[in-house]
Structure 1
Amino acid sequence: MSETLDVVDQIRATEDSLEVGVYPKREVNIVRGEGAILWDDKGNRYVDCVGGQGVANVGHCNPLVVKAIEEQAKRLITCPEIFYNDKRAELLRKLVEVAPAGLRRVFLCNSGTEAIEASIKFARLITSKTDIIATVRSFHGRSMGALSATWEKKYREPFMPLVPGFSHVPYGKIEPLRNAITENTAAILVEPIQGEGGVHIPPAGYLRELRQLCDETGVLLILDEIQTGFCRTGKFWGGDHEGVRGDIMALAKAIGGGMPMGAVLIDEKFGELQKSTHGTTFGGNPLACAAAIAAIQFMQDNKLEERATEMGDYLRSRLEPLAEKGDVVREIRGRGLITGIELKQKVVPYLKALLERSVLALPAGPNVLRLLPPLVIEKADLDFAIEQLIAVLG
């Protein structure tokens, strides 16, 4: 590596030359975060509307999470599930406390994809059936089972053939679901709001009808709450907007306050599953459990679901004139602090323009700009982000 390269160039050159290259990189080197603000190596300040892909609901380096990690790291970092552990037991109690009624069995893992994989396996194990129905535009992960449930062709096609037994029907419509159910259907897998697929909000009553359909047919309902859970949508769970819970619920992203973690909640009526049918080396490790306990307690104490509603409604009300004008913006969709801005052009140039104006945002498909700021974002910082969005999109 050339000695003439500065530190930033060295970092970029290292990552570009040594990583396998699957990530599209942005021209910024993030080194520090606090709340909803990130800083690069040169001290430039950014309002973060990426939120670690929806992970940082309680903010970057939340003091309670940091303290919990520090204290636990001095005691015990790893402890496999073949041994009991006090911090894991505490998290299990906390998860059951905040979970929808009846979801009292928990499997702890390390990511959203792992949570989906476990959910699929558990559904097959419980029902002794094989088939899973998912929806058009769905995104459930990139491992082979989760990818089989994911709809987007660009993710699927390079890895064909995928796991058999998966089918896709239009999101938000009950009759195609009803017609797709067969005697081999184990479960229906659905997101309360489609995030990666473009921030699509289901029609009113859809989730209730879906729950009723599953009750009538004996098919299990798997709710993918990986992005919608933990106060993101203005309720603690995305299904809470219609009072609907799954038989199985997949969790991740914000659960650990920034630490890698996932979980699956299962209806207590299924009891214990057969020993050794699934497992994970790192799942339920004390360090991640300590972080999750602190993060969930912070959400409860600070009523982050209410804050998400207030700030999200304000954000969309400020942006709505862009859709009414209609030059660039086709539609604005969202609930709580998940917002999708559907554009009439490709989204990437607008993401670059926002980066130049110190705002970080996400795509959700080729022409949707997605905003997932930490739920602790200050109003002044949200206003700054809104002003840059208006300048770029207006």
Structure 2
Amino acid sequence: MRVSRAGRGVVAAGLTLGLLALGGNAPAYAVDQVCENIASDQPDVLATERTGSPVQLMQVARAQEIAAERGRVPGAGVTVAVLDSGVADHELMDVVRPAGRPVRALVDHQGTSMAGLIAAQGTAEAPIGIAPGATILDVRVYDRRDPDDTSDEVGPRADLLLEGLRYVAGLPRGDVGVLVVGLSFARTPELDADLREVLADLSAKDVLVVAASGDRPTEESDALYPELGYDGEEPPHGEDVRPVIWPAAHPGVLAVNATATVLVEEEVVVDDADDDVLRSSATDLAAPTADAVSVAIDGRSTCLLPDISTIWAAAEVAGVAALVRSAFPAESARQVVARLESTATGSLRAATVLTGHGVVQPVEALTRPLRPTAEGDVGGTQVVAEGDQRAVAPQPKADVLASTKRNAVWWGLLAGGALIVAVLLRPVLARRRD
């Protein structure tokens, strides 16, 4: 029987709990340092000592080493706008906020967790954020995912997200290099029209926009459950949520899905992500998320993100985009997207509803010799799908002087023959004259 995201997404943490039940020596941090369980007033500093599974799978340490060899701190010079529940000031990352906006106490860890995946400083051997040199711009668009009925906290709303997008679009060109959204709403023509307008402004400012392609709703209280919830054991056959999910489905957005791949005791475990994520033909890239390490809302601790979620995947791809933009500062957002898509695992195959062009590969994006055009075209070899073809000799070019050459040969033969006859007849004719 298949279980829900909440029940089976905790791959590594679940294994640790099993070891504890059997009397094993599993470390306590695997159980009690999940990011959502840490409050902003956490009294003690909690340190997660493991290296996150996603950064190992994506070879982030090597990518950061490559960036450092080029004389740049990974992500340096790039600001990433995080439009979510707010980002805590944390000693492991550089966070700035829009001037003049009210600062309220944080109640939801999601925005901080996203920011940590992007830019938290770890060590050379155990990275946390993918682009630790980047600056996080905290654009808070809601307070809590599920506010109480009596609470005055603001929940996620599409109009507030649009307001945040417009704020970033209004900043001077160059202030923000990457923007990431973890929220998903039901798509409407009105929202599409508003998004099209603001994305045009963001494109004019050369901002690369990343968004989560959408987690699968599993509870009736989930916002998109009426449209995307299901009672069976399998997702609907032929599912494609592109007409349903906003803003990730818009063509001006880099839509990111999550894979179920995870490292367990240094072995790669690949599972089915259908219970956790939605299938969408709008998907551009994917990233692994289970058992990630990020920073906590208390501003001092590190913590685990055990679930498979497109929210964390979007943050990771935003981090990779910041890393690549830092390494190639002269390239536009469109050129960076071309690098990410053309170097992803599976990029030579047709895009799929679960992984798009493939799983993002930071090392390949930094090292493959590409020269994307301003339109985002990387050229390269075309793949022929007709199967193996035997080599054949090249066809000779047509000779337009062939007939002339043939006539010249015949005339030459005739002239030569006449000459020979004349030579043979010359003695006979000479005797007659005598």
Fold shared by both chains (TM-score > 0.5): no
Between structures 1 and 2, the one with greater helix share: 1
Between structures 1 and 2, the one with greater strand share: 1
Q: TM-score when scaled to structure 1?
A: 0.28
Rg (Cα) greater in structure: 2
Q: TM-score when scaled to structure 2?
A: 0.27
Q: Which has the higher contact order (CA 8 A, sep 6+)?
A: 1
